[in-house]
Homo-oligomer: A and B are copies of this chain.
Amino acid sequence: MLKKERQAYILHQVNLHNKVLSSSLCTEIKVSEDTIRRDLQELAEEGKVIKVHGGALSHSFNDVSLPLNGVYSQNQKKTIAHKAISLINNGMFVLTSGGTTIMELARSLPPQLKATFISGSIPVILEYMYHPNIEVILIGDKISKNSKITVGSEAIAKIKQIKPDLCFLGTNAIDVKHGITDNDWEVVQLKKAMIESSKRVVCLSIAEKINTVQPIRVCGIDEIDILITELNENDPVLRPYKDAGLKVL
Contacts and interface: CB of A to CB of B under 8 A. Distances in A.
A137 B138 CA distance: 12
Counting every copy of the chain, the complex holds 2
A177 interface: no
A79 interface: no
A120 interface: yes
A212 interface: yes
Chain A residues touching B, majority SS:
mixed
Given A137-B141, A140-B139, A60 B55 contact: no
A38 interface: no
Interface string A1-34: 0111101100110011111010010000000000
A158 B138 contact: no
Interface residues of A, number: 68
A36 to B, nearest CB: 15
B158 A60 contact: no
Interface stretch (A85-93, A123-131, A229-237): A123-131
A19 B146 CA distance: 10
A16 B72 contact: yes
A214 interface: yes
A141 B141 contact: no
A186 B140 CA distance: 18
Contact of A138 (B54, B72, B141): B141
